[in-house]
Amino acid sequence: MALFGIVKAFSKFPTKTPELAKCQVQQIRTKYADWRMIKDVKRRNTLKEFGAERMRINSLRKNDILPLELKEIADKEVIALPRDSNYIRVRHRCAITSRPRGVVFKWRLSRIVWRNLADYNKLSGAQRAMW
């Protein structure tokens, strides 16, 4: 299985721990593929915490019905919230390889990984198109 992220981890591990530099036999499934993935995870966590509040305050800002004073206050409040609480900052990366582009959204996998798994019949209902 050409799982790039795990293969990378595979090669990294022996060098990090010199005592175990002999041979890594098992796949490491407990680590994130790379640091960008970790940062994305952190962003998602803050989004979980403050995302709803941000959205609601924004809804107060983005209308012409409510008084301006309220909008100004809302502006200030939004700025006070953490930046990572914004949904737009989240990047839907591949869950296995952390590929930022070419991600099949429903499966959260990059197209390459998706193709691989589909060929091995691991994706329910995913079939080769033929018509």
Measured from the CB atom, the residue of 12 and 63 that comes closer to other proteins is 63
- Please say which residue, 53 or 119, places its beta carbon nearer to other proteins: 53
Cβ 68 to other proteins shortest distance, Å: 8
How many CA atoms lie within 13 Å of 67's alpha carbon, on the beta-carbon side? 3
Greatest Cα pair distance, the chain, in angstroms, is: 69
Smallest distance, other proteins to C-beta of residue 59, A: 7
Name the residue nearer to other proteins (CB basis): 105 or 131: 105
Strand partners, 109: 104
Q: Return the number of the residue (68 or 130) whose C-beta is nearest other proteins.
A: 68
> What is the Cα–Cα distance from 75 to 78, expressed in whole angstroms?
5
Separation between Cα atoms, residue 56 and residue 52, nearest integer Å: 6
CA pair distance 131, 121, nearest whole angstrom: 20
Residues at the contact surface with other proteins, assessed by CB under 8 A: 52-53, 56, 59-60, 63, 65-70, 73
User: Which positions ≥6 away from 113 have C-beta within 8 Å?
Assistant: 3, 94, 96, 97, 99
